[in-house]
Structure 1
Amino acid sequence: MTPPSGSPGPDGTADMDSTADFGSAQRLMTQFTAQLTIQLDRLGHSGRPGSRPGSRHDVRRGGRDRPPTLVAVAHGSRDPEALRTVTALLDRVRALRPGLPVRLGHIELNQPLLTDTLAALRGEAVLVPLLLSRGYHTKQDIPDAVAAAPHLTARIAAPLGPDPLLAEALHARLAEAGHRAGVPHGAGVAAPCGTGVAGVAAPHRAGVVLAAAGSRDPDAAVDVARTAALLSARLGGVPVLPGYASGSGPTVPEAVRALAALGHDRIAVASYFTAPGRFATQCAHAAPRIAAAPLGAHPAVARLILRRYEQTLAFAPLSPPAATVGV
């Protein structure tokens, strides 16, 4: 218990000055808390007991409790597993944020199409592209779809990539496929007992090809290169080279050969795709040993979708016309 003002402290001396300082600090903290509460209320974060981001008390606009709808925008694929994977991913998003309305729209090939999803909505929406880099779809197709739905108040989030959460998911998929980083170059490993081999065995040198869809947009290549750097760091410095299924090279086989020419003999292909499809299958077939599964419904991807949604709402209030919010 704190001694009263003027009573001896632990060292036997009076503590009047420290008590006064404590009272001043308390008053400052009370004022700071009050000001912070006012600011949070203005942002719609009430701080009520039990409230959390995405709950019905989180985003209040125009006097309504319902938060803006999260519209996940997938590319679409003829592979039936793609739709199942995206559906599972969005189920994970809903589990993370109960009460948040989540809808799906495809750019092409699958139902529901994005234009149909937007036509059925009313009020406010945040579109989160399930795409991994900037390109034509994020710069043209999605804004065009929003422009064709003038009844909505909407914002468009940045694509999912690059982001450390994607490096986390890619790392996990590689590990699931059996990829190990191996021994650093030059370290060597002891020869197994009984082999009759003296000295050290030649070390394995790991390398990874980050297989991506590809695009003619130079921004896409920049984004993929940044993800390759994030994954390399996540793997402890293992080299990661981008390889593409389309657009300007290098292709995945070319990236594999480049790593092999540098002496890497344990090469894996990381599948930088949200869901299975033609490109993901094509890239997996080019793997010399290990091909990881696409990102799919990994928990880190679900968290990233919600991060993009929240970043977009925090960047600017919802108001027409729709605009892409960079992150």
Structure 2
Amino acid sequence: MNAPLVAVAHGSRDPRSAATIRELLDVVRSVRPELDVRTAFLELSAPGLGDVLDALHAEGSGQAVIVPLLLGHAYHASVDIPNAAREAERRNPLLRLRIAEVLGPDRRLRQAAWRRLLEGGADPGDPELGVVLAGAGSAHESANRLVSEVAEVWQRHSRWAGAVAAFAAAAEPDVPAALERLRAWGARRFAVGSWFLAPGRLPDRVLERAAEHVERPVLADTMGAAPELAELVIERYEAALAARPGLLAHAT
């Protein structure tokens, strides 16, 4: 019997966020109907990760793979999820857990965000278009660097005036500063790409700031229930299963 896949997202007070995560996991189930796929959240949404792991143990599961639905490796991946898993194992001594790698970096994230941007109306051949790729922002520079690297890749594959990363919090530049940089590079029209998995307070903040500073910007949807993401979730799960057995083993 396959180990259950416990997909854990950050969580949000915005009900659209949890609904989007559940839609993504419905796509995972459609691809791998034999898998027991559970939804969990770190905070602000239910059910919590610990509750899901306890329920699996109560149902007789002896193992599970936790797949973090996080775009980069920062505090939640390095501290919160391992701590929650260790606590679950202490409460349930017969439960053995593995933690998969976070979703990023991976070309499929870049592809999903790019597709959402084009669906929003951005033209890769427009030399007067400036594109902001907006992410949450993190105290971990590696997570911010990932967003900047994606913007650089997009720039190389377009004729835009420029493409730059911007952040909703905890990192710079913010959206207004990024827009000013693009203006200095010759942009006359603007688009905002989304380095967010699901809607919520931070994506809304990004869109509001963009609308305050430019007229009629192209606004991309969050990645959401993209097939690329479902494929990636399954791959992370399978890699964790294939890793050397051990307490809270991580895929590499």
What TM-score results when the alignment is normalised by the length of structure 2? Answer: 0.89
The answer to whether structure 1 residue 154 and structure 2 residue 97 are counterparts is yes
Q: Is 2:194–2:221's contact at 8 Å kept on the other side of the alignment?
A: yes
The answer to whether structure 1 residue 125 and structure 2 residue 64 are counterparts is yes
Deviation of 1:237 (Å): 6.0
The answer to whether structure 1 residue 317 and structure 2 residue 239 are counterparts is no
Q: Is 1:161–1:227's contact at 8 Å kept on the other side of the alignment?
A: no
Following the alignment from structure 1 to structure 2, what is the Cα–Cα distance between the partners of residues 246 and 309? 30
* Higher helix proportion (structure 1 or 2): 2
Deviation of 1:124 (Å): 1.6
Give the structure 1 partner of residue 39 of structure 2. 104
Give the structure 1 partner of residue 128 of structure 2. 205
Indicate which of 166, 186, 211 corresponds to 2:109: 166
What TM-score results when the alignment is normalised by the length of structure 1? Answer: 0.69
Give the structure 2 partner of residue 10 of structure 1. none
Runs of at least 5 residues in structure 2 that lack an aligned partner in the other structure: none
Give the structure 2 partner of residue 193 of structure 1. none
Q: Is 1:182–1:205's contact at 8 Å kept on the other side of the alignment?
A: no
The aligned runs of 1:143-292 (5 Å cut-off) are 143-150=82-89, 151=93, 152-183=95-126, 204-233=127-156, 235-236=157-158, 238=160, 239-287=162-210, 288=214, 289-292=217-220
Q: Is 1:103–1:117's contact at 8 Å kept on the other side of the alignment?
A: yes
Residue type of the alignment partner of 1:258? R
Residues 33-67 of structure 1: CA deviation (Å, up to 9, x unaligned): xxxxxxxxxxxxxxxxxxxxxxxxxxxxxxxxx11
Runs of at least 5 residues in structure 1 that lack an aligned partner in the other structure: 1-65, 184-203
Q: Is 2:125–2:158's contact at 8 Å kept on the other side of the alignment?
A: no
Give the structure 2 partner of residue 293 of structure 1. 221
Residues 68-99 of structure 1: CA deviation (Å, up to 9, x unaligned): 11111111011111111111110000001110
Kindly report the root-mean-square deviation, in angstroms, between the aligned alpha carbons of the 2 structures.
Answer: 1.6
User: Identity percentage over the alignment?
Assistant: 43
Residue type of the alignment partner of 1:291? L
Following the alignment from structure 1 to structure 2, what is the Cα–Cα distance between the partners of residues 261 and 75? 36
Bigger-Rg structure (1/2): 1
Residues 8-55 of structure 1: CA deviation (Å, up to 9, x unaligned): xxxxxxxxxxxxxxxxxxxxxxxxxxxxxxxxxxxxxxxxxxxxxxxx
Following the alignment from structure 2 to structure 1, what is the Cα–Cα distance between the partners of residues 4 and 148? 32
Query: Which structure carries more relative contact order (alpha carbon 8 Å, separation 6+)?
Result: 2
Q: Is 1:162–1:227's contact at 8 Å kept on the other side of the alignment?
A: no
Deviation of 1:217 (Å): 1.2
Q: Is 2:165–2:178's contact at 8 Å kept on the other side of the alignment?
A: yes
Following the alignment from structure 2 to structure 1, what is the Cα–Cα distance between the partners of residues 158 and 186? 18
Q: Is 2:236–2:251's contact at 8 Å kept on the other side of the alignment?
A: no
Residues 210-260 of structure 1: CA deviation (Å, up to 9, x unaligned): 111111112212222233334445x43644311111112111221111111
Equivalent pairs counted in the alignment come to 238
Q: Give secondary structure in 1 for the equivalent of 2:241.
A: helix
Q: Give secondary structure in 2 for the equivalent of 1:148.
A: helix
Following the alignment from structure 1 to structure 2, what is the Cα–Cα distance between the partners of residues 294 and 117? 26
Identify which range, 153-162 or 78-87, moves more after superposition.
153-162
